[in-house]
Amino acid sequence: MQPGTSPPTPTDMTNNNTRTALVTFGAFGCDLEIVREYLPSNYTATSTEDGILISGHDSHGWTLDGYVIPRLASALIAVQEVFL
């Protein structure tokens, strides 16, 4: 902590930046339940008219670009981050 600054509050330490991604291609009959099986607890998947939307926040190394997208790619599920 820098001299003259106050300690962070729990609100300051919370990452409120929601990240979203859209499943662009899923092999072998990919559906919502399959996508959910590959997600860590800080991310969720919902079905929309545009397809399967993944949303959540990065936490303790469980990141969208460092974990979620590569993990889904290992199952031949293509995902692209979208900015809503």
Q: 2 pLDDT exceeds 90? A: no
In this predicted structure, what is the pLDDT of residue 27? 67
- For residue 3, being part of any structural domain is answered with no
- Range of the structural domain that residue 38 is part of: 18-82
- Spatial strand order of the sheet with 77-82 comes to 43-48, 51-56, 19-26, 77-82
- For residue 30, being part of any structural domain is answered with yes
- For residue 2, being part of any structural domain is answered with no
What percent of the chain shows pLDDT beyond 70? Answer: 79
In this predicted structure, what is the pLDDT of residue 84? 82
Q: Residue 29's pLDDT band (boundaries 50, 70, 90)?
A: confident
Number of domains in the chain: 1
- 6 vs 64 pLDDT, higher one: 64
- For residue 65, being part of any structural domain is answered with yes
- For residue 4, being part of any structural domain is answered with no
In this predicted structure, what is the pLDDT of residue 45? 97
- For residue 5, being part of any structural domain is answered with no
What's the mean pLDDT in 36-54? 94
Q: Is 20 exposed, middle or buried (0-12, 13-18, 19+ CB in 10 A)?
A: middle
- 8 vs 47 pLDDT, higher one: 47
| Alpha carbon distance, N-terminus to C-terminus of the chain | 34
The answer to whether 17 touches 33, Cβ cutoff 8 Å, is no
